[in-house]
A = this chain, B = another copy of it.
């Protein structure tokens, strides 16, 4: 049979084509070629039947082509003419190359594993306004990871209690203290009150420690409300805002970036695993990370390898590389390791992921038997030891908070 969207002799020019790599399992009684053809058609100009309105010119200029097809590995690669895509529009990118294709009956499973983008397309996006290098410079932490603390419990604290806990973290070696992903503006902890309380704690700690500190405020909401919240943070001297980028969505993320508020955008990826976790279906974290770098977040959660959340070593390393590599002038994004971390895991974590990241502690800090302040010290001590190449066991001999943490976790 002749499949109009398959051309295995085609060698796409990387300056003119977007390349998508997919895992593909066809549905029962459907051949691999038939399913591959349908995906290329549906994600460019085609539909399920021949139509009278499609001209040869359109097919030649805008048709996608399957140019690599390996049924034995379940892999196909599709070349999309870059003009299929509106410049600077992430939602349109997804609607085109990761939209209806997941719904077609001809497939059983389909996953968008990777995308390669031509420079003309990449350059149509702003990328991070601040980026990894300036963030590390700001905190004077060129040769060590930044250390973050997530306030726990996730929900239920008053703004003053939140600020008090943040202060203990800041005061004891933590650079960045953050809201959790589900804390926004609830009755028990209203956003504006939290901003005022926590920035007071931030400034007090900065004055006392002579170090740079930053509280991360979760502004996740409807877009205009997010802008309002971000401006409130800015007005009161904050440095970082957080967006739950998957639940808020790409349109809003691009809008916040466009506002150029002079704030670091911390991207939390809550809900990504509904899309990324199945190895056979959905969209990979690598693809989402590339799109978020285009959109212009400054920091992004990408996994810990060693913590409570799933995410294999290779996947996290690939994602972090995509965030930090040279990319046609776009600034790098700082990766965040977060979820189930405690001091004992730090040397292994740094060994795997390096020092160019933020290490976040939540339960592994507030769960310290002697409380938050000692937990913060233990976290800092673990990072300092690992960066100096000293074993935690040895370092713990002269650092009692770390000793207690190692015995406990």
Contacts and interface: CB of A to CB of B under 8 A. Distances in A.
Contacts of A249: 91, 247-253
A362 interface: yes
A157 interface: yes
Interface in A173-189: 181-182, 184-188
Contacts of A309: 100, 103-105
B247 A51 contact: no
Contacts of A273: 100, 102-103
Most B C-beta atoms less than 10 A away, residue of A186, A247, A275: A247
Interface in A132-186: 151-157, 165, 181-182, 184-186
Given A89-B221, A95-B220, A250-B247, A49 B364 contact: yes
A372 B52 contact: yes
A133 B133 CA distance: 55
A367 interface: yes
Nearest to A362: B47
Interface residues of A, number: 99
A340 B278 CA distance: 27
A187 B83 contact: yes
Contact of A182 (B90, B96, B182, B268): B96
A371 B50 CA distance: 11
A134 to B, nearest CB: 24
Interface string A219-259: 01111111000000000000000001001111111110010
Given A48-B340, A156-B62, A244-B99, A255 B252 contact: yes
Interface string A30-74: 000000000000011111111111110110011000000000000
Nearest to A89: B221
B247 A94 contact: yes
Contacts of A277: 102-103, 281
A182 B89 CA distance: 11
B91 A153 contact: no
A363 B186 CA distance: 48
A86 B185 contact: yes
A166 to B, nearest CB: 11
A331 interface: no
B372 A53 contact: yes
Interface string A77-117: 00000011110111110111011101111000000000000
B244 A367 contact: no
B99 A223 contact: no
A378 to B, nearest CB: 13
| Max chain B Cβ within 10 angstroms of own Cβ: one of A96, A251, A364, A369 | A251
A153 B251 contact: no
Interface in A266-295: 268, 270-275, 277-278, 281-283
B95 A181 contact: yes
B367 A270 contact: no
Query: Nearest 10 A-B pairs (CB), nearest first?
Result: A249-B249, A99-B270, A58-B156, A102-B273, A251-B252, A47-B363, A222-B254, A96-B182, A94-B247, A223-B255
Given A61-B156, A88-B222, A278-B282, 14 more contacts: A43-B182, A49-B367, A86-B186, A89-B222, A91-B248, A92-B220, A94-B247, A102-B273, A102-B277, A103-B277, A220-B251, A223-B252, A277-B281, A282-B282
Interface of A: 43-55, 57-58, 61-62, 83-86, 88-92, 94-96, 98-100, 102-105, 151-157, 165, 181-182, 184-188, 220-226, 244, 247-255, 258, 268, 270-275, 277-278, 281-283, 308-311, 339-340, 342, 362-364, 366-369, 371-372, 375, 409
